[in-house]
Amino acid sequence: MAGSTYGKLFTVTTWGESHGPAIGVVIDGCPAGLPLTEENIQQFLDRRKPGQSRFTTARSEADQAEILSGVFGGRTTGTPISVIVRNQDQRSRDYGKIKDCYRPGHADYTFDAKYGIRDYRGGGRTSGRETIGRVAAGAVASRLLKRLGIHVTAYTKAIGSISVPESEYDYDSINQNPLYMPNNEYAGKAAAYLESCVKNQDSSGGIIECIIDGMPAGIGEPVFDKLDACLAKAVMSIGAVKGVEIGDGFEAARMTGSADNDEFCMKKGTVCKKSNHSGGTLGGLSDGSRIVLRAAVKPTPSISREQKTVDIHGKETSISITGRHDPVIVPRAVVVAESMAAITVADLLLANMGAKMEYLEKIYKE
Amino acid sequence: MAGSTYGKLFTVTTWGESHGPAIGVVIDGCPAGLPLTEENIQQFLDRRKPGQSRFTTARSEADQAEILSGVFGGRTTGTPISVIVRNQDQRSRDYGKIKDCYRPGHADYTFDAKYGIRDYRGGGRTSGRETIGRVAAGAVASRLLKRLGIHVTAYTKAIGSISVPESEYDYDSINQNPLYMPNNEYAGKAAAYLESCVKNQDSSGGIIECIIDGMPAGIGEPVFDKLDACLAKAVMSIGAVKGVEIGDGFEAARMTGSADNDEFCMKKGTVCKKSNHSGGTLGGLSDGSRIVLRAAVKPTPSISREQKTVDIHGKETSISITGRHDPVIVPRAVVVAESMAAITVADLLLANMGAKMEYLEKIYKE
Amino acid sequence: MAGSTYGKLFTVTTWGESHGPAIGVVIDGCPAGLPLTEENIQQFLDRRKPGQSRFTTARSEADQAEILSGVFGGRTTGTPISVIVRNQDQRSRDYGKIKDCYRPGHADYTFDAKYGIRDYRGGGRTSGRETIGRVAAGAVASRLLKRLGIHVTAYTKAIGSISVPESEYDYDSINQNPLYMPNNEYAGKAAAYLESCVKNQDSSGGIIECIIDGMPAGIGEPVFDKLDACLAKAVMSIGAVKGVEIGDGFEAARMTGSADNDEFCMKKGTVCKKSNHSGGTLGGLSDGSRIVLRAAVKPTPSISREQKTVDIHGKETSISITGRHDPVIVPRAVVVAESMAAITVADLLLANMGAKMEYLEKIYKE
Amino acid sequence: MAGSTYGKLFTVTTWGESHGPAIGVVIDGCPAGLPLTEENIQQFLDRRKPGQSRFTTARSEADQAEILSGVFGGRTTGTPISVIVRNQDQRSRDYGKIKDCYRPGHADYTFDAKYGIRDYRGGGRTSGRETIGRVAAGAVASRLLKRLGIHVTAYTKAIGSISVPESEYDYDSINQNPLYMPNNEYAGKAAAYLESCVKNQDSSGGIIECIIDGMPAGIGEPVFDKLDACLAKAVMSIGAVKGVEIGDGFEAARMTGSADNDEFCMKKGTVCKKSNHSGGTLGGLSDGSRIVLRAAVKPTPSISREQKTVDIHGKETSISITGRHDPVIVPRAVVVAESMAAITVADLLLANMGAKMEYLEKIYKE
């Protein structure tokens, strides 16, 4: 695969550049018979749409999803689902500096190094708009999961050093503040911090947390396609993510085995764990507990402060990124992380259907 | 793929259980003409072999690699390289508790949940011995990379809370202490800490760091197969790894853009970065700087302390894991992480050969 | 992969139904720097467009290709190329019989068996319009190949029992007759035969031949991804193709080794073959000779003659397919076969770039 | 994938050269809980073993299969099944001519062109012994299919121009004659013809037919991974196969739609076809009828008659292949074709488990 297709059975192929005519995704391998409308997808896209708060770019985009195939009579047909979003804000402009200079923290230089050619308009393929396709696919995957009782939820755990401790989580708050934090008070503090970043012509990093409830035990493939390994790749493939951890994560490196191990017990006739340091996986397979994943997101690299750089001719120069940019990537990336997690789990659920003869007999012999 | 194959072009398929007759790997897609001997592979295997220090299991295994195919006259032929290692320490024993109980922190329960059957002898497929195949393949990948001027090095950054600060790194020390730490003094402290863990019938986590030097810019595929995303999956697929980060990693979440961005400059006619907060990737492609990756490893779950658990019949019970176990996984996992990184880079180097027409013309028209 | 993606490095993902809003393709892995315009794609699409002769359906479709991504300044950028073709002829109509009955020779029944739901309008995903995406991708692959001196050409070898013998081939004729036969006289006879088929409310099968000139030796992967095996799949995946052969093909089954073997000789310092019974491959790798491939295409299953069948409720009934249908599939499938062959060769050319260390050194060390 | 792995879910990775220490296969993705012994595999291997009749090479090989992993307590565990066969007949010999010359009809030249290096001993990777791995995997796949009521059978339809007409098939005869023909009388004639070939220092081609009974309808993936396309690749990837057809195959090219279409009817409440011109697939999906596939196999290229060729230094010379070689490939390839068909069907059965939500609900909600 050439890099723009994700998944083995529930496959997602995204395409499109920031300032091309459109951006889109082809979702192949979605089982037939899943109820699906454009509204289902739109709800997800609206969560990453620009212009929602004073911390997101003012670019005016409706980001209206159109389903072009794979759905008939309100249900998926098993054939590829093509979703397209027209780019509207393509007014011609002067790309001068972006065209000729390598922006620090961006992929301008590495794209030139790889391909020798680069669509510089708005970042081209490396623009955050690339995630539109992921989110549309995530909407489909999430619907599929919900019908099986699996729920994926992502939110902003931290912005800069303002981090909501787990003990103060209030999941209902997530959609009550523009930063998607599970605590409105912390969201207020984070907003104030972001205001100061903007004033300083600067930006902030943060942490996304994603939880998955209702996972049956045994999902994931041992060895290379472990559930946590796949989730790590899924989330790390989102631009600006620089780290990922599951359960106790990096904290586990400082712990002892007696503290980190989760003891087993029985609850209502089912094997359960007394704690969840593992974050819901053992040996790369889901263990029936909640999956808990965190992703570290670097600060927005586009800042108006002047930075030193070089141009495409190898001359040293400096650049300050004009125009309005989000001072933080995290809030709009929340739904992207949720989407990538949902796609990954859907893919592994399908892979798991061949785990034992009993399943094959259930489908082919009954 | 069913989970035991890794890579798209440089593919690695591992097989084997801890107490089966043998364990091995098939490496397909290695370019022809690479000098390769069994000694090259043995050197890598010896780094993960048990019995090397008082902190590694006393299981007596020669772990002798045999190349069964793909090499002729001392060079790879382009056909699959099959490497096999016979398991020697298979004396019959009483697996009683392990057979019937789910060990906390292990995959016994999840394997039963997935497959309904499990080779319980020594952990079967979930044993650390599964990594033998990875390391043999890593040895091959490393040789390939070296011929292109690319060097991968991994070491123990931290054990428990004893962490070597970057300013005190001495790379020559790595092979001078049994913990593979880049500072012998810290290694001494870590050894003392591990002794105390053993006394407490407990174990410790730690952190592996992996660096890659000599990477050309532009390696990795944008969007889903980003270099950092692939590395994250590679490393997270190693049992016991609970987190992975690149460059500033989780620290970046607390930083501002002006501090996290690496400014560009020119050095000897080449585009360079003044700093390396990014850890060597921009937009998922290598940027020509050193790749810096860290992995958090959980404590050894096998501890002799008594733990509560349930048996396969759903009855609550308790277990204490007898026999000698490493009180820390990190030192023996160092070469595994290095191997997975090398395999990943080799695979992406091959994928990158189709990046531009210029390359095709170089090979097919000259 | 879920079946709508083809290729490993040069990947083609098609989507779309006959009577949905559009049909399209995403081409990922095309090297950067290839000159490409919408006209290049249109030329290929025009060769399969309906309404070109009295033997092709009168459905009025402009089949106008629009490139939505992956091309900038007239060149490919290395990112996915999305091509879309709007369906125009979607007037509402009565699908009565097609909706409720299983047409003999069509996939109505098998789609229902597989998915339990089916877009019956115009055959939905099983319509010949699905090949639009293949042909658009074939146009791109062909351009890539041409720049490396490789030329793919397909034509109609036979319709019914009117078959052009190789000794009477005139390649210039191919584009001079609506049946794409390499001999205008035979094309005349075939046309007369097709007229008689139409009068009899019947249809005809035929044979497509595809040749590839300029192939370097050594392309293809031994064992499972042999060049001929990949071409066989490529061509057999075109609806209505029931057989495929390379070189002497089925005739070879009746031959002796002394007659079938091609002796080697030297020509201008290069290893050559004195004959080409093998059709250009040895051991699954190209041998430097012309690739010669033939595909057997069944007669158009849609005939106006009344046929017995059953409806979706399991009741026996009969059906006669009204409306105008091509009495033969071959002429419009010629460009599809050519496209699939071109895509396959492009993909294997990319795969071959990792065949030897010498190639890697050429790209990464020079 | 680098060419030595086949299948997407039920994956088969073969390795090994003719005169290396061993040859083998790794089967990954086999569902857990399938009863499997070494004897099951041995039975299949014995069908392709040399030395069974006067028409097969006298090379003395026990071809004894050893299962090294993936089976525990007589059942598959869901982890990779590694099967190894030691090469016994490796006495050192003079490879002189084979080493330096390109044998007509063999892959010596193309391997050199691709890799620049070649294990010339006994043909190395291009030897027929490569199929040992395929057959071992086919044994596993066949067992899986049998438990679901699916039966794959292959036999020799024709040798040279001696072809058994369908009307004279007697399936019981297949194992009663060394040529695996479904009619002992024809087998006698074919044996006489082969004797004459040997006398003439020549060899013969032939045709293998493979039938699959008990296929549920709807198996295969539309578009690129059609059941017939996958079977075509599977069979065409066997060395020496030059053509493949399904159902009426090439005959369909000469037919009319009214003759080629299979009308539907009801039988015991199930949708059936009155005839089976299609060979069991419609639109690339199984239609519930018997799958009927034929493969054309070229004559053994190794003949003792003198042939012109060139050596590796580009000098024209001549060669006569000494030593005993089978005068026909077909009988020993029968089990290989059967194996490849079984593997392909097993793989597509697994892929089909995600076809509809109903299946997911059956497994994850019941």
Interface contact C4-A82, CB threshold 8 A: no
| Residue in C345, B215, C26, C69 with CA at minimum distance from that of residue A1 | C26
Q: Does the beta-carbon distance from D354 to A8 stay under 8 Å?
A: no
Inter-chain CB proximity C1 and A82 less than 8 Å? no
Nearest CB to A364 within list D34, D349, D357: D349
Residue B215 DSSP symbol: P
Query: Which parts of chain C have pLDDT scores under 50?
Result: none
* Rama region for D55: left / alpha / beta (φ>0; ψ in -120 to 50; rest): alpha
Q: Which residues pair with B24 in a beta bridge?
A: B15, B84
Question: Do residues D157 and D70 make contact, with C-beta atoms less than 8 angstroms apart?
Answer: no
Nearest residue in B to A126, CA atom = B283
To probe the interface with C, which of D181, D250, D349 has the most C CB atoms within 10 Å? Answer: D250
Contact B279, B247 (CB under 8 A): yes
Closest CA of chain A from B70, distance in Å? 23
To the nearest whole Å, the CA of C18 is away from the closest chain D CA by 14
Q: What is the pLDDT of residue C48?
A: 87
- Cβ distance of B350 and C353 shorter than 8 Å: yes
| Distant-in-sequence, close-in-space partners of D313: CB < 8 Å, separation ≥ 6 | D100
- Whether the CA torsion C221, C222, C224, C227 is positive or negative: it is positive
- pLDDT per position as a tens digit, A55-81: 666 556 689 999 999 999 999 999 999
Instruction: Check residue C114 and give its pLDDT.
Output: 97
Quick one: CA dihedral D216, D220, D226, D232, positive or negative?
A: negative
Nearest-Cα distance to chain A for D71, in Å, is 13
Q: Which of A79, A147, A354 sits opposite D353 (nearest CB)?
A: A354
Q: Up-side HSE of residue C110: CA atoms within 13 Å toward CB?
A: 30
**Residue B92 scores a pLDDT above 60:** no
Is A223 in contact with B4 (Cβ distance < 8 A)?
yes
Residue D91 pLDDT? 59
Asked if B15 and D116 come within 8 Å (Cβ–Cβ), the reply is: no
The residue in chain C having the minimum alpha-carbon distance to the alpha carbon of residue A78 is C115
The whole-number average pLDDT for the span D186-197 is 97
Q: Quick check: C354 and B10 CB within 8 A?
A: yes
Closest CA to D340 of D167, D139, D123, D149: D139
Q: How crowded is residue A277: how many other Cβ atoms within 10 Å of its Cβ?
A: 21
Closest CA to A85 of A144, A35, A20: A20
User: Which tokens hold the place of A198?
Assistant: 């903007």
Q: Do B78 and D124 touch (CB under 8 A)?
A: no
Asked whether the beta carbons of residue D283 and residue C308 sit closer than 8 angstroms, the reply is: no
Closest CA to A98 of A319, A301, A305, A306: A319
All partners of chain B with 3 or more CB pairs under 8 angstroms: A, C, D
Question: Looking at the partner chain, which of A23, A32, A116 has a beta carbon nearest the beta carbon of C117?
Answer: A32
Is 60 exceeded by the pLDDT of residue D169? yes
Helices (H) and strands (E) in chain B, counts: 9, 18
- Contact between B338 and B231 under an 8 Å Cβ cutoff? The reply is no
CA B310 centroid distance within chain: 31
Give pLDDT tens digits for C312-365: 999 999 999 887 788 999 999 999 999 999 999 999 999 999 999 999 999 999
Which chains are within 8 Å of D by 3+ CB pairs?
Answer: A, B, C
Q: Given pLDDT bands bounded at 50, 70 and 90, which one contains residue A1?
A: low
Interface size, chain B vs chain D, as Cβ–Cβ contacts under 8 Å: 163
pLDDT at C98: 81
Asked if C228 lies within 8 A of D246 by C-beta distance, the reply is no
The mean pLDDT value for B52-73 works out to 81
CA triple A359-A234-B127, angle to 5 deg? 60
pLDDT > 70? residue B53:
no
What 3-state class would DSSP assign to B84? strand
Give percent of chain B above pLDDT 90.
88
Which positions in chain D touch B69 (Cβ < 8 Å)? 15-17, 20-23, 125
Q: Look at residue A51 in the predicted model and tell me its pLDDT.
A: 63
Whole-number pLDDT of residue C56? 65
Distance from CA of A176 to the nearest CA of B (A): 23
Average pLDDT of chain A to the nearest whole number? 94
Residue among C1, C22, C24 whose CB faces A8 most closely: C1
Q: How confident is the model at residue D207 (pLDDT cuts 50, 70, 90)?
A: very high
Output the 3-class SS for chain A.
CCCCEECCCCEEEEEECCCCCEEEEEEECCCECCECCHHHHHHHHHHHCCCCCCCCCCCCCCCCEEECCCEECCEECCCCEEEEEECCCCCCCCCHHHHHECCCCCCHHHHHHHHCCCCCHHHHHHCHHHHHHHHHHHHHHHHHHHHCCCEEEEEEEEECCEECCHHHCCHHHHHHCCCCCCCHHHHHHHHHHHHHHHHCCCCECEEEEEEEECCCCCCCCCHHHCHHHHHHHHHHCCCCEEEEEECCHHHHHHCEHHHHCCCEEEECCEEEECCCCCCCEECCEECCCCEEEEEEECCCCCCCCCEEEEECCCCEEEECCCCCCCCECHHHHHHHHHHHHHHHHHHHHHHHCCCEHHHHHHHHCC
3-state secondary structure (DSSP) of residue B22: strand
Quick one: pLDDT band at residue A50, thresholds 50, 70, 90?
low
Q: D296–C252: do the CB atoms touch at under 8 Å?
A: yes
D4/B28 Cβ within 8 A: yes
| B122: confidence class by pLDDT, cuts 50, 70, 90 | confident
Nearest chain A CA: its distance from B252 CA (Å): 5
Phi, psi (deg, nearest 5) at residue B149 = 85, 20
The C-alpha of A301 sits at a distance from chain D's nearest C-alpha, in angstroms, of 36
Least confident of B36-45, B48-57, C105-114: B48-57
Confidence of residue B51 (pLDDT cuts 50, 70, 90): low
Chain A positions in Cβ-Cβ contact with residue B288 (cut-off 8 Å): 113
What would the two tokens of residue A117 be? 């050619």
- pLDDT at position B166 is 97
Q: Do D33 and A349 touch (CB under 8 A)?
A: no
Residues of chain A above pLDDT 70, percent: 94
Q: Give the mean pLDDT of B275-283.
A: 98
Which residues of A fall within a CB distance of 8 Å from C73?
Answer: 117
What is the average pLDDT score of chain B? 94
- Residues of chain B positioned with their CB less than 8 A from the CB of C148: 360-361, 364-365
Q: With CB atoms and an 8 Å threshold, state whether A357 touches D32.
A: yes
Question: How many distinct helices (H) and strands (E) make up chain D?
Answer: 9, 18
pLDDT at A324: 72
* CA–CA separation, D19 and B32 (whole Å): 18
- A126/chain D closest Cα distance in angstroms: 27
Check residue C323 and give its pLDDT.
76
Percent of chain B predicted with pLDDT > 70 = 94
| Whole-number pLDDT of residue D89 | 66
Option in C32, C33, C356 nearest B33 (CB): C356
Per-residue pLDDT, A25? 98
Return d(Cα D325, Cα D333) in angstroms, integer: 14
Q: Do B1 and D8 touch (CB under 8 A)?
A: yes
Summarize the confidence of residues B266-284 as an average pLDDT: 97
